[in-house]
Amino acid sequence: MSLPFSPMSTDRETADDPHDPAVARLIDANLDRAREGLRVLEDWCRFSLQRPDLVARCKDLRQRLGRHHHDHWKLARHTATDPAAGMAHPAQAERLQPSQVLAANAGRVQEALRVLEEFARIPDPALAGDAALIRYRLYDLEVDLLRAGAAGPDRRRRLAACSLYLVTSPVQGLESVVEGALRGGVRLVQYRAKETAGLTDHERLEQVQALRLLCAAHGALFLVNDRIDLALAVDADGVHLGQDDLPPAVARRLLGPDRLIGRSTHRIEQLRQAVIDGCDYVGVGPVQATPTKPGRPAVGLAYVQEAAAESPIPFFAIGGIDGDAVAAVRAAGARRIAVVRAITEAADPEAAAAALLSALEAEA
């Protein structure tokens, strides 16, 4: 039976003992430290960011460590005999912002994992291996947490600055059409491909990935119609929901607070409900009958006037709007329009987008 290792010991065999109680205490302390820090991050993702995807990632790392926190580690240490228990540092009192708390706890977890990686190699190689894996995953998780904290306000500022919104349709050369529109000044794009388009989910995913990259390259917001799964798969800026799609509250739980949610509305009561539901913007229309929405009667300019008088969130007039209709829509109070065919069926999407923006500015 080996003696407890102490700083005064020079017994090499004792120091290398895989059951050294000093190492066991060190491992227990750092498992506690890492798991507690991950719980801080997890609860921030849950209650503040409301990001179930980030919650799941934190929880997975925390539970991985929990599987290694065996009783023999816990029984090796008692806070009453720990000379550093309760020791604080003045820096803790300086953490006045959530971002500082998150950074401190992410650093705390990373440091604890490094200690576990080094000291658990002999007594518990599986723990050492998982500690190294988790440490590298935590680097990416920390970056995603920081981005999530800043993404919401930035997206909403960019949304408020948009006046021309392109909604796609399944046309030939879709990527080229969208790229032309972006060159022409479009800064908000929605991918829309209904089931009648005859595309498989794999084909939709390929299109969404390509358009997401194009929008990112041009500094444009990118939304997906209906499909929350596709939006999450490509880290889109949000989704657009019709009246018959998932309720915004459900979408918000899945997407978290930072992504944008838009809602199609056809009368003022629906707009009011969208505001109550926490939507970030609404579509108002269809102003004119359009083959994009077969069977949907036009609401005319009267509803645009109602929206202009009442809407506290950005709204986009939509439905059969082209360059010739911009003046009337603007006169009704709209400052933003959404179009489909005016760009997707144009011979020159870039020129069409630029002309629409010019018409919007000219009427300002």
For residue 122, what is the enclosing H or E element?
none
Question: Do both 199 and 345 map to the same domain?
Answer: yes
Question: Do both 132 and 242 map to the same domain?
Answer: no
Residue 195 covered by a domain: yes
Q: Report the DSSP beta bridge partners of residue 315.
A: 282
pLDDT by 10s per residue, the chain, length 364: 344 434 433 343 334 455 789 999 999 999 999 999 999 999 998 888 777 778 888 999 999 999 999 999 999 887 656 665 555 545 555 555 777 888 899 999 999 999 999 999 999 999 999 999 999 999 988 888 887 777 778 899 999 999 999 999 999 999 999 999 999 999 999 999 877 678 899 999 999 999 999 999 999 999 999 999 999 999 999 999 999 999 999 999 899 888 999 999 999 999 999 999 989 999 999 998 877 677 678 899 999 999 999 999 999 999 999 999 999 999 999 999 999 999 999 999 999 999 999 999 874 4
Cα dist. 75→67, 69, 130 in Å?
16, 11, 22
Q: Does the annotation mark 264 as catalytic? A: yes
Mean pLDDT of the chain: 88
Catalytic residue among 293, 311, 330, 336: 293
Question: Do both 198 and 55 map to the same domain?
Answer: no
Question: Do both 96 and 178 map to the same domain?
Answer: no
Q: Does the annotation mark 183 as catalytic? A: no
List all residues 6 or more positions away from 324 whose beta carbon is below 8 Å from its beta carbon.
Answer: none
Share of the chain above pLDDT 90, in %: 71
Of 105, 125, 151, at which residue does a domain stop? 151
Question: Do both 66 and 181 map to the same domain?
Answer: no
Question: Do both 200 and 92 map to the same domain?
Answer: no
Catalytic residue among 108, 187, 192, 212: 192
Instruction: Report the CATH number that the domain containing residue 334 is assigned in CATH.
Output: 3.20.20.70
Instruction: Report the CATH number that the domain containing residue 32 is assigned in CATH.
Output: 1.20.1260
Question: Do both 132 and 269 map to the same domain?
Answer: no
Q: CA triplet 26, 31, 34: central angle to 5 degrees?
A: 120
Question: Do both 125 and 79 map to the same domain?
Answer: yes
Question: Do both 191 and 81 map to the same domain?
Answer: no
Q: What is the distance between the alpha carbons of residues 101 and 282, in angstroms, rounded to a whole number? A: 36
Q: Does the annotation mark 163 as catalytic? A: no
Q: What is the pLDDT at residue 85?
A: 56
Q: What is the pLDDT of residues 216-256, one digit of tens each?
A: 999 999 999 999 999 999 999 999 999 999 999 999 989 98
Of 93, 119, 151, at which residue does a domain stop? 151
Q: What is the distance between the alpha carbons of residues 317 and 333, in angstroms, rounded to a whole number? A: 10
pTM: 0.65
Q: Report the DSSP beta bridge partners of residue 262.
A: 240, 281
Q: What is the pLDDT at residue 210?
A: 97
Residue 45 covered by a domain: yes
Of 151, 182, 200, at which residue does a domain stop? 151
Question: Do both 68 and 213 map to the same domain?
Answer: no
- Provide the domain limits for residue 243: 162-362
Residue 9 covered by a domain: no
Question: Do both 210 and 61 map to the same domain?
Answer: no
Residue 156 covered by a domain: no
Tokens of 22: 């000093």
CB 40 within 8 A of CB 95: no
The conformational region for residue 316 under phi > 0 = left, psi -120 to 50 = alpha, else beta, is beta
Catalytic residue among 163, 169, 264, 311: 264
Q: What is the distance between the alpha carbons of residues 8 and 295, in angstroms, rounded to a whole number? A: 87
Q: What is the pLDDT of residues 276-310, one digit of tens each?
A: 998 999 999 999 887 767 767 889 999 999 999 99
